[in-house]
Structure 1
Amino acid sequence: MATCEDSPLMFAETCNDTFYFLDTEYVSRSASPKTDLCPDAFRKGKQRPNSYWIQSMDQKFLVLRTSGNFEFEDRTTHDRGLSDCKFDIQIYQDSTEHTQPVMLYACINGQKMMVSCKNNKEVSPEPMNTSGLDIINETRHKALFRWKNISTGKYKFESTMYTGYFLAFEPLEDKPCLHKLILRPEPKDEVDESMVISVSNCKLK
């Protein structure tokens, strides 16, 4: 196939039921041709997800409890090695933002339990098959967050479903020693440390 100037075209991808092609002369001139032609889409990164500990600023660990809730609690060195305390971070790519979209999930009995946003802006675990999420042709997704680096090992996670809302932790009313994972709007005139989350690679500890 060629253009009217007889420049051969190479198939690139499909997007929203449309076929896209690249000018091969452009490809030959470019070391890394841009093929992400859908600006309103997320694409899973090629790198395999790593396992991390997710901690609050007071060093409590994010845990997926048997009750089905995400909570922050103290963990012994031994208990940190349990699967309910390790979270994989899958990096995604898109063409509209500088901050990377990511998914967070724990693997429990072979099932991936995603950190997911509900319609009422609550956060809960949800089983999800990531193999069907290689490309998400949407501008937002309930399990996608943009992680923004604050300092070394410290991040804020903004929901793509609810712009301006970030993952945060707050004490349980009946058990102040425990904290639950929530979505919270970012304050305009102050720093909310409950939104600052520590991320450390399990393999490096």
Structure 2
Amino acid sequence: MIKKLANLLGKDYVVNDEHELVEIYHITNYGVDQENYVKMKNHMNDWTLYEVQRGESFKICEFGNYDIAICVLYILVKKIFERPKGNSKIKYELTQCTESNSDNISSILVKEYDKKFFNLNNFKKGAIVLEKVNGYYDINYCGLNDERINIVNGRTFSNAVSVFYNYIVIVHEFEKLINSLISIMNIKLSLEEREAIKRVYLGK
């Protein structure tokens, strides 16, 4: 599993496997960054994942299943060191939208992103939702069981649209990463397992 992970990450990373401790270092233009990395540590059959910044470890999540933890490790590494980038043209077009022509938001987004990733005012499983509440805007993620996971609230229209777009990019990138991972690692994930990994990628 670790060998497949190392091959999937490629030459931009160093994977250090010490049986109950896995560390992944990013290779920059200046060599291996040993101050900022991601690690996964086993304790009492639970795998805890950390982001390490300048020697200080920050716990991200914990999983009892090793294979799931490896998937999350990959997803975390990609999120931290290869932050998803949006389409500058789409982003610019969105900045031209106003509250009076907010219907244009969807028609702009579908040029690049599947409709399943977003919705305006209506909740849809797996989607980022932009919702107007008392004259301001909230951004939420609609979970697998229709739960509402708040991202931001009480934002102005222009600020909310910016956040809305950024999170659509994130869920779009997640789908690409997880599908690639499933194919190459030859693993099966339940809907619940996939959702749990997605929530880590969303940071929610």
Could you say which TM-score interval applies, normalised by the shorter chain? under 0.3
Larger Rg: 1
TM-score by length of 2: 0.22
Comparing both structures, which one devotes a greater share of its residues to strand? Answer: 1
The alignment's TM-score, normalised by the length of structure 1, stands at: 0.22
Structure (1/2) with the larger helix percentage: 2
Higher RCO structure (Cα 8 Å, ≥6 apart): 1
